[in-house]
């Protein structure tokens, strides 16, 4: 038990595994596929209430047991992602340590191999900062006349930064304007950030 990556799972996992082992294989495959697609997405529930009811009928298990099962499978995906576990090791773990049925273990590992990249990608890019930049819009205007001066030719860049508040999902629009010199200075800063990124990535 101590070498399994799921060793900090509770007894809930054990009962879920028993239910899993008793499931029909094709149904299990679809279930795992669906869970793999949704693992790692923030603030999204994997199955709606209606779908849970349908599953209840399909599997012949109570809703609580189904929920537990879904949670366990999701937990197993997350743990696999955490350790970036190789499929073969995962299979051994499931079969030997967690008493998974062999065929079910194969199905699980298959889904893991197929979806591992995406799940890890999703986990990597999940934000924990309070605000993040969700979109950038801009226009280039040219001022041609104003109250204090007739005849000017003044190009002005107007940026609209859209910041998304991670908790409330609200978008805040920040409008700023840049004249030519300011835009150059801004661009120079962006270039220095890019060169730092390049040295970091090599």
Partner 1 sequence: MPDHHSYQDPFYGWTTPKTISLCVQKLKECNSLPFQAIQKLISMSEAQILNEQASSSSSSSLEILMKFSKNHSISIENLLVIFNGFVHVLRLALKPPAAFLKSDIFKDDLRDLKFSEQIIEGFHNILFGTKRDQLYNIIQERDRPRLPFLQSFDWNLDVTLTTASLSRCIEPLLFFQFHTTDNRCLTFEVPIKKFNELRYNTALLLKEMEEVDGKQALKLLET
The yes or no reply on residue 133 touching partner 1 (CB under 8 A) is: yes
Q: Is the dihedral of CA 81, 82, 86, 88 positive or negative?
A: negative
Out of 84, 117, 167, 202, the only residue in the binding site for partner 1 (CB under 8 A) is: 84
Q: Which is nearer to partner 1, 23 or 46 (CB)?
A: 46
Q: How far is the CB of 78 from partner 1 (least distance, A)?
A: 6
Judged by beta carbon, residue 22 or residue 184, the one nearer partner 1 is 184
Distance CA 8, CA 5 (A): 8
Instruction: Lay out the site mask for partner 1 across 26-65 (x = CB under 8 A, - = otherwise).
Output: --------------x-------------------------
Among 26, 147, 167, 168, binds partner 1 (CB under 8 A): 147
Site string for partner 1, 102-131 (x = CB under 8 A): ------------------x--xxxxx-xxx
73: contact with partner 1 by CB under 8 A = no
Does 14 interact with partner 1 (rule: CB under 8 A)?
Answer: no
Q: Could you list the residues that contact partner 1 (CB under 8 A)?
A: 40, 78, 81-84, 120, 123-127, 129-136, 138, 140, 142-144, 146-155, 157-158, 163, 174-178, 180, 182-184, 186-187, 189-191, 193-194, 196-197, 200-201
């Amino acid at each position: 038990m101590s070498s399994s990556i799921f060793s900090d799972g509770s007894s809930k996992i054990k009962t879920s595994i028993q239910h899993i082992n008793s499931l029909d294989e094709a149904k299990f495959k679809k279930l795992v596929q669906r869970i793999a697609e949704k693992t790692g997405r923030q603030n999204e529930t994997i199955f709606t209430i209606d779908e849970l009811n349908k599953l209840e009928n399909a599997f012949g298990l109570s809703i609580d047991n189904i929920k537990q099962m879904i949670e366990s499978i999701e937990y197993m995906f997350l743990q696999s992602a955490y350790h970036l576990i190789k499929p073969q090791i995962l299979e051994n773990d499931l079969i030997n340590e967690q008493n998974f049925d062999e065929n079910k273990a194969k199905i699980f590992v298959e889904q893991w191999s197929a979806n591992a990249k995406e799940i890890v990608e999703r986990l990597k890019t999940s934000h924990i900062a309070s605000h993040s930049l969700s979109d950038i819009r801009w226009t280039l205007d040219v001022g041609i006349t104003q109250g204090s001066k007739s005849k000017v030719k003044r190009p002005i860049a107007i940026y609209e930064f859209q910041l998304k508040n991670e908790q409330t999902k609200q978008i805040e629009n920040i409008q700023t304007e840049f004249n030519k010199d300011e835009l150059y200075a801004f661009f120079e800063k962006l270039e220095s950030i890019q060169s730092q990124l390049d040295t970091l990535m090599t």
